[in-house]
A and B are shown apart, each in its own frame.
Chain A
C-alpha cells in the first residue's frame, strides 16, 4: 500500500491525509493477480463466464464439455448461492466441476476462486472456466484473474440490458447472444443489442448462439480452441 501523505494544509485543529489511493477492492485485486500468475505458469486459459440468472451458462458449458471434452482438458468452477445443482449437471455430461457455494454472496471473489483452486488438480489442464453467480451487477467489479470475461445475454431477457448494466459489458471481451432459436417469437433485436454493447465497449466481440438448434456452437468451440492455443503459444514464446 502506498504510504499516505500527511497534508500540512489541514484546517486548524485537524490533520488531514490527502489524496490517498486506498482502493477498497485492493485485497481482491491482489489475489486476482496471484491467480493470473499461477495460470500463466501452468499455461492454463482462464475464463470468467457471467450473465443474468437463467441465460444458459450451464447449458452452454454442458454442450462445450460434450464437444471439446475429448480434445482438451477442461475444469470448471461454478458459483451459486446454494446447492450443487450446476456442478451435478456438468458432471452428468462428464465434466470435472467443483461447486463454490457462496452462502448468499451475490458474486465470486478472487479469494473464493483461489481457495477452490487448492482442491483442483490443475496438472495438464488447458482450460479453467469459472461460471460466475447469475448477476450482471456485482460480478462486474471483481477481477478473478481471468484472461477473458464472457457475458451471455439471452433473447428472453430483452435487448435493453447492456445500457442497464454498463460495467459488465465494458469489462467483457465477448458477448454471447443466447437462445437465438427463440428470436422469431420475441421482440428482441440482435442489431440493437450489439449497437448498445458497442456504444459501451467498441471492441467487444459478439456471437449468436443456440444450444437447441446448434447455431454458433461450432464458432464458440473454435474460439475456445484458438484462445487455448494462443495462451500456450504466448507461454512458449516467453519461455524461449
Chain B
C-alpha cells in the first residue's frame, strides 16, 4: 500500500522519541510486518532507499524486516495455531477469527552506535 508514507512514519516516530544526537548514531531499524498488514517487504525496502536518498538523511541506516506469520487463538484448546491457505481455524478444526499475530506493523528494535564519549572511555 502506501510504503513511502509508512517509511516517513518510521522516521517521524523515531524523531519524536530520540534526540538528533542519538539519531545521528542510528545504525539499524528492525520492523515486524505481519502477513495480514498488506505491506510488501520489498516495496518497503525500495521506499526506504528512496526516502533516505531524497531527504539525504539516515543514508547509513539499515532497515531489517521480519515478516510475521498469521496465527489464531482457540479458546477451547487454549493454544495458537498457524493459519494455512487463509483458513482461519485451529489445528483442532474449530474456526477462529481471534487473530493473535499477523497484523503487526511495528518498530521492533532499534540499533545505535555507542556515543563517542563512551567509546573513548
Contacts and interface: CB of A to CB of B under 8 A. Distances in A.
A163 interface: yes
B interface SS class: mixed
A163 B86 CA distance: 6
Interface residues of A, number: 35
A140 B6 contact: no
Contacts of B45: none
Interface string A4-39: 100000100111111111111111000000000000
B9 A24 contact: yes
Contacts of A16: 109-112
Interface in B21-64: 27, 36-38
B87 to A, nearest CB: 5
B100 interface: no
Contact of A198 (B10, B16, B95): B95
B87 A199 contact: yes
Contact of B27 (A4, A14, A105, A170): A14
Contacts of A105: 2
B69 to A, nearest CB: 13
B78 interface: no
Interface stretch (A117-125, A180-188, A200-208): A200-208
B107 A141 contact: no
Interface in B106-121: 106-114, 119
A140 B38 contact: yes
Contacts of B110: 4, 16-17, 20
B68 interface: no
B36 A166 contact: yes
Interface residues of B, number: 33
A167 B113 contact: no
B92 interface: no
B65 interface: no
A20 B86 CA distance: 28
B103 interface: yes
B97 A202 contact: yes
Contacts of B112: 14-17
A24 B2 contact: no
Contact of B37 (A1, A18, A141): A141
Contact of A20 (B16, B99, B108): B108
B2 A138 contact: yes
A106 interface: yes
A23 B106 contact: yes
Nearest to A14: B111
Given A10-B111, A13-B113, A141 B38 contact: yes
A21 B106 contact: yes
A219 B10 CA distance: 45
Interface of B: 1-2, 6, 9-10, 13, 16-17, 27, 36-38, 85-89, 95-97, 99, 103, 105-114, 119
- 3 nearest A-B pairs in the assembled complex, by CB-CB distance: A202-B95, A22-B107, A138-B1
